[in-house]
């Protein structure tokens, strides 16, 4: 199986879209914080700029924002030392740690929790009630590197004996990658696919309209996934990293509630440790996304 590492290696840093530069009244070069495009990159632009500005003001460290065009672009930017910080999803952090030596600074709090699940969403009027009912159907995943939009849902199918050889087409009639969680849900809603893999709060976050949300149900759910967070790559001075960490831990409701909602609809941040992500490494092992030992 072609590994995710090979796929990332082929991605150019040109996949990154510069969305804002922040001047903090200092002559020093700003650090770059790259955002994972789990929502529409264009819609994320304004929020990313505002977050970078707030982080810089609180920490005293100049920061600018980038939004990656896809998940792989985040890891490549860290590995090539084009950025210093990244908003990473769980699998993204494990890859950033392995490929670029990054360490986790803080972990998201989302809906009052520090973990979430992935689900297979379906239209309620299609009569699909169990995972087994998806055999021979079509599915929209999000991205090959997405924790809730691919890795964990695939592990669920593998553990239940529904998918063989890590190939979704041994169970589904067809499988596609939509690029974003919203696009995956819209594909289900409009009948372009029978099911979509996404996180537990995706309908409320991306569909918003109660009438649309009411049309969507789910037929399978994964174990909990540790929340995403912000990581820093080697080379950033410890003193600087400490300032950023203190600032991030202070960005919370109620003062910054509107800003946090615009970013990834999160509540704030908590302390994080690399060990928090061992379950993610275990899932990646099942998907053969870890390097040979």
Pick the closest to residue 172 from 144, 141, 126, 142 (CA basis): 141
Q: How far, in whole angstroms, is CA 203 from its chain's centroid?
A: 16
Residues of the chain with CATH 3.40.190.10: 4-113+226-286, 118-223
CA separation for the pair 160, 221 (Å, rounded):
12
pLDDT at 291: 64
Secondary structure element (H or E) that encloses residue 262, with its range: helix 257-264
Q: What is the pLDDT of residue 7?
A: 44
- The residue with greater pLDDT, 264 or 12, is 264
Q: What is the pTM of this model?
A: 0.82
- Residue 1, pLDDT > 70, answer no
What is d(CA 205, CA 209) in angstroms, rounded to the nearest whole number? 10
Rounded average pLDDT over 12-36: 60
pLDDT at 15 over 80: no
* Mean pLDDT, range 10-30, rounded to an integer: 48
> How would you classify the pairing of strands 195-199 and 115-116?
unpaired
Reported CATH class of domain 118-223: alpha beta
Contacts of 30 (CB under 8 A, 6+ apart): 21, 22, 23, 24, 56, 62, 63, 64
What pLDDT, on a 0 to 100 scale, did the predictor assign at position 3?
Answer: 41
pLDDT of residue 73 exceeding 90: yes
Dump pLDDT digits (tens) for 144-203. 989 999 999 999 999 999 999 999 999 999 999 999 999 999 999 999 999 999 999 999
Model confidence pLDDT, tens digit, residues 96-148: 999 999 999 999 999 899 999 999 999 999 999 999 999 999 999 999 989 99
CATH class of 4-113+226-286: alpha beta
CB 86 within 8 A of CB 36: yes
């Amino acid at each position: 199986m072609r590994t995710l590492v090979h796929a990332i290696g082929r991605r150019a840093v040109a996949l990154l879209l510069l969305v804002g530069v922040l001047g903090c009244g200092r002559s020093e070069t700003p650090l770059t914080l790259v955002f994972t495009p789990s929502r529409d990159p264009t819609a994320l632009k304004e929020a990313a700029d505002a977050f970078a500005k707030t982080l810089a003001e609180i920490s005293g460290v100049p920061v600018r924002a980038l939004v990656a065009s896809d998940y792989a672009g985040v890891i490549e930017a860290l590995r090539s030392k084009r950025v210093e910080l990244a908003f990473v999803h769980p699998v993204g952090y494990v890859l950033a740690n392995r490929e670029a030596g990054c360490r986790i600074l803080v972990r998201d709090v989302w809906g009052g929790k520090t973990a979430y699940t992935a689900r297979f969403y379906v239209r309620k009027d299609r009569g699909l009630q169990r995972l087994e009912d998806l055999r021979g159907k079509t599915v929209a995943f999000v991205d090959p590197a997405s924790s809730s939009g691919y890795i964990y849902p695939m592990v669920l199918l593998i553990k239940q004996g529904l998918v063989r050889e890590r190939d979704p087409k041994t169970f589904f009639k067809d499988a596609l990658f939509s690029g974003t969680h919203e696009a995956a849900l819209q594909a289900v809603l409009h009948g372009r696919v029978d099911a979509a893999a996404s996180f537990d709060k995706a309908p409320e976050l991306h569909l918003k309209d109660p009438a649309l949300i009411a049309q969507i149900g789910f037929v399978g759910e994964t174990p909990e996934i540790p929340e995403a967070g912000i990581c820093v790559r080697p080379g950033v001075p410890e003193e600087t990293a400490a300032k950023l960490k203190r600032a991030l831990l202070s960005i919370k409701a109620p003062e910054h509630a509107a800003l946090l909602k615009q970013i990834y609809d999160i509540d704030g941040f908590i302390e994080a440790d690399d060990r928090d992500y061992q379950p993610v490494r275990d899932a990646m092992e099942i998907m053969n996304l870890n390097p040979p030992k």
